[in-house]
Amino acid sequence: MANYSVPTSRDIYIEVNGKKLAVVESYKVSATRESRPVEAFGQADPVATIAGRIKYNLELSRVYVNPANTDGIDFYGLTDFNVVIVKPGSKIIYSGCEWASIQEGAGINDTVLEDVKIIASKRMTGK
């Protein structure tokens, strides 16, 4: 019988220069591709479709920034960072990330970004 581990919030994190900057409670990813049809003269229907660029949109919920790991990094100043998602048997890395929007809310002595929307340029998988 195989052992399976259930992903937890420590398995979803934001990485800057190889260091965990923050952990994430949950995420959603949507990928969109800019494709276009190829039309031929005299044909009523397209003869093919050309695949275009892929854009990855990530929505992160309850992002906990670890003040011990920030080294003076301001989350609002982040650019070209990675989001890493660890699943049983695999690891997904979204790289070339830029944040698109941030909603912040916190209680006393909390450092929480409620919702962060990120656009990533690449998606890589590994173990």
pLDDT > 70? residue 2 = no
Domain that holds residue 53: 9-126
Whether residue 3 lies inside any domain: the answer is no
Tally of structural domains, the chain: 1
Which position has the higher pLDDT, 78 or 31?
Answer: 31
Whether residue 4 lies inside any domain: the answer is no
Whether residue 16 lies inside any domain: the answer is yes
Tokens 């003269």 map to which residue? 41
SS3 track for 66-123: CHHHCCCCCHHHCCCEEEEEEECCEEEEEEEEEEEEEEECCCCCCCEEEEEEEEECEE
Cβ contacts of 125 within 8 Å, gap of 6 or more: 90, 91, 92, 93
Whether residue 79 lies inside any domain: the answer is yes
Residue 101 to residue 106: CA distance in whole angstroms: 17
pLDDT digits (tens, 9 = 90+) for 38-49: 998 988 888 899
Q: Which amino acid is at 37?
A: P
Look up the CATH number of the domain holding residue 94.
2.40.30
pLDDT of residue 70: 65
Whether residue 2 lies inside any domain: the answer is no
